[in-house]
Amino acid sequence: MTMFLTKDQEEMLSGVKGEAVAKSMELIVKIGEVYKADRLIPITNAQVAGVSYLTVGDSIFSFFELLSKDAVTVKVPTWLNPAGMDMEKWREMEISEDFAEKQFRIIKFYEGLGINPTLTCAPYLIGHTPTHGDHLAWSESSAVSMANSFYGARTNREGAPSSLASAITGLTANYGLHITENRYPRILVDVRTKLESFSDYSALGYWFGKKFHSLIPYFVNIQSLNINEAKMLAAALAASGSVALFHVKDLTPESKSIDIENVEEKIEFTESNKKEVYNHFNQITEGADLVAIGCPHASYEDIKLISNTLQSRQMKKDIEFWIFTSSKTKAVIDADSLLTNLESRGIKVYADTCMVVSPSVSGNFRNVITNSTKAAHYLSKAKTTLVNLLPIDSIMKEVTE
């Protein structure tokens, strides 16, 4: 199949509108050719990864040098994924001067392209909610799954270069989850156990993703799916199985248009399956030294739940408690005096980063408790880190007295 390009797109590809635009178009077209896309389509907005210096390293600066040859800016509203540190409290996180200097350079360059430095993996929590049917170029795995599933927008999981290329051109290739036929579920999952905490949703997602990598599920018998529950389910599916879209009967936008009689494979998720996930992430054999919450970034409701569960209890000595969120959410917490109360109790709230993309966690803590299978999955990949997975209420009982 030969991909159709409009005259304007051909000019962009040929270099008429600058080298940076041409290189961006070249990448998008090559991806489209690989996946046999028939054309390029306009996007509404983009979310760019490749932000944390921990993950991109010094090679990012050569890429920036290439883009700097033209005075290029993004063509659509674009947001940034988390950085490798809190942009204000990086010293408190024991980030080195060299790391911080390079991290600031990365953010400054993206800002120069006209990108909003949201520095969050959950832009939908701070007002950047997709609209049903929107075509996007998002790159963070859990955000991609949320956009497709909870909002009914359409995006593939873009890499850092391709999401930026789409932001610069306003275009992406028409393939994958942009096409209706590719959004149908392959497996029906009958949830036969109660999902009583955000961590239970996370366990469900982790179990399915690990067992049925990249296949689209249709969940039945899920009684509730608010934004926080969906966030944990989406993140887990993406982390363990690169699942970028899920449907929940009557609770996600596209679920009612699906004829489940055509779904050939049907399975159950049982209490035993749920316990398997918790047991898998029951690795700590001695005292924990860190609680890490906020993968994906904690919402206002998440943090209020922690505060309400803490009540008058005191934190145990010799254990740190870190919450990761966005700067915008943190400002709301501060305005409601929650932040002052949490900090007075020894809990630290960091913005702009998370336990996965910052060197401050896996490099400094051996035993980490979290409520997220995504965090547990990535943290436990480091041979120096052990994790326990627990719901928030269980965590608070574990680390307070």
Pair 24, 171 in one domain: yes
**Residue ranges making up the domain that contains 286:** 281-399
161 and 296, same domain (yes or no) = no
Same domain, 247 and 272: yes
Asked whether residue 292 is domain-assigned, the answer is yes
Residue 1's pLDDT is 65
Residue 300 counted as domain residue: yes
Tell me, yes or no, whether 286 and 395 share the same domain.
yes
Domain match, 220 and 305 both: no
| Residue 85 CA neighbour count, 13 Å, CB half | 25
Among 246, 261, 279, give the residue marking a domain's end.
Answer: 279
**pLDDT in single tens digits along all 401 residues of the chain:** 689 999 999 999 999 999 999 999 999 999 999 999 999 999 999 999 999 999 999 999 988 988 888 889 999 999 999 999 999 999 999 999 999 999 999 999 999 999 999 999 999 999 999 999 999 999 999 999 999 999 999 999 999 999 999 999 999 999 999 999 999 999 999 999 999 999 999 999 999 999 999 999 999 999 999 999 999 999 999 999 999 999 999 999 999 999 988 898 999 999 999 999 999 999 998 889 999 999 999 999 999 999 999 888 888 889 999 999 999 999 999 888 898 889 988 999 999 999 999 999 988 899 999 999 999 999 998 778 999 999 999 999 999 98
Q: Is residue 1 part of a domain?
A: no
User: Are 97 and 166 members of one domain?
Assistant: yes
Last residue of a domain, one of 136, 162, 179: 179
Q: Answer whether 0.85 is exceeded by the pTM.
A: yes
Domain-embedded: residue 123: yes
- What pLDDT, on a 0 to 100 scale, did the predictor assign at position 51? 97
Residues 248 and 330 in one domain: no
CATH number of the domain encompassing residue 153: 3.30.499
Task: Say if residue 164 is in the same domain as residue 211.
Answer: no
Three-point CA angle 240, 241, 244, nearest 5°: 120
Same-domain status, 27 and 170: yes
Q: Is the same domain home to 273 and 316?
A: no
CATH, residue 297: 3.30.499.10
Give the contacts of 127 (CB within 8 A, at least 6 positions apart).
328
| pLDDT score, position 210 | 97
Do 62 and 138 fall into the same domain? yes
Same structural domain, 267 and 344: no
Q: How many domains does the chain have?
A: 3
The domain boundary residue, chosen from 126, 155, 179? 179
369 within domain boundaries = yes
